[in-house]
Amino acid sequence: MKNTQERFGRPNDDGPSLLKQLPILGRRVIRHPEPNMVLPHTLKYHQLIYVHKGDMSIWINGHIYEIHEKELIVIQPYQTMAFLKGAFPKGEHYFAQFDLFEFEESSINESLSVFLRKKFPIVLYAGERFLTPCKALLKEFKETHFYSQEMATHLFEILKINLLRLFDAEFGHHKDLLIDSDFFEKVNLYVDENLDRVVTVKELSELCGFSENHFRNLFKKLTDMSPLHFINTKKLNAAREMLINESMNITDISFALGFSSCQYFSTFFKKQTSMSPIDYRKSAIELCKKSVHKSVLASEAAAQLDSHFKLL
């Protein structure tokens, strides 16, 4: 029996996503783990992985997390994740990505956004609460009957409510969480719109109307990283994506990301990944070409290859 995967959302997937709030949804059955098939990567959305069968060890930002059957892991955006030996582990897994910026105003969405922006990753026992609506969603995505989008919207609401109940049992009521989601959205959007120049912490604190010290503390509490680390991670992710595009030279990428020189960009990139931009480009493109099952797409190939090699 071969490994199988069904995924919806990307251009080359089995089909489009029916919901903007849910840009990626899929299921993966791995019977024969294949090393070096998946690069470490970061995602711009919250990712949820549910282990239906088997066990999973996943490396996230320098820590190993163990997920067992019927457990769910929630991973924040821009956290580097990798599977040991670059292989999906044996078992059956469901996965979904949530785009919080597409969430409409509602008490459910507001509450879920607050929980999702806690200090993840975290592993929770989910039982059937995640699996049942997720399987039903996949069926709608695959068969696309009349009113499939409406049914998908309804099923996604059920999935979100089930997640809220899980989070509430783990953390307590969301009103006790003093996290300002608008604060993060404002900073995230501002950094995205200004990747072509240097953005300072002082600039961000003034944007949010806080003192620099209070801004640093609040941002650290919200994201579990410093503002500078967040900015550098955004630039690094953008650099990875650009390096996969062979039409852009290193100098163009340097200036597009606000670096004063090609040398400065190369120093920054090598410090973060232990590889020069040129070596990274060669390695990532070669890995993409060798991916027989196309599990490494251009967006996923934009990853920290140094972390990949350390795990082998």
- As to burial, measured by CB atoms within 10 angstroms (0-12 exposed, 13-18 middle, 19+ buried), residue 14 is middle
Q: Is the pLDDT score of 97 beyond 50?
A: yes
Residues 80 and 145 both lie in one domain: yes
Give the pLDDT confidence score for residue 70 in this predicted structure. Answer: 92
Q: How many angstroms from the chain centroid is the CA of residue 91?
A: 21
Residues 171 and 185 both lie in one domain: no
Residues 122 and 235 both lie in one domain: no
Distance CA 229, CA 272 (A): 11
For residue range 170-184, list pLDDT tens digits in order: 766 544 444 455 677
Provide the β-strand partners of residue 14: none
Sign of CA dihedral 276, 282, 285, 287: negative
State the DSSP code for 100: G
Give the pLDDT confidence score for residue 302 in this predicted structure. Answer: 44
Residues 216 and 269 both lie in one domain: yes
The arithmetic mean of pLDDT across residues 117-136, rounded, is 85
Q: What is the pTM of this model?
A: 0.61
Residues 191 and 172 both lie in one domain: no
Residues 165 and 198 both lie in one domain: no
Residues 274 and 167 both lie in one domain: no
Residues 152 and 185 both lie in one domain: no
Residues 135 and 204 both lie in one domain: no
Among residues 144, 176, 208, which one ends one of the domains?
Answer: 176
Distance CA 155, CA 150 (A): 9
Residues 146 and 186 both lie in one domain: no
For residue range 26-58, list pLDDT tens digits in order: 999 999 988 877 778 888 899 999 999 999 988
CATH number for position 219:
1.10.10.60
Residues 194 and 209 both lie in one domain: yes
Q: How far is CA 137 from CA 160, 168, 301, in A?
A: 12, 23, 28
Number of structural domains (the chain) is 2
CATH number for position 79:
2.60.120.10
Sign of CA dihedral 80, 81, 84, 87: negative
Domain of residue 195, residue span: 181-311
Give the pLDDT confidence score for residue 119 in this predicted structure. Answer: 61
Residue 74 has phi, psi (to 5 degrees) of -115, 125
Q: Which of 203, 209, 164 shows the shortest CA–CA distance to 183?
A: 209
Distance CA 200, CA 272 (A): 19
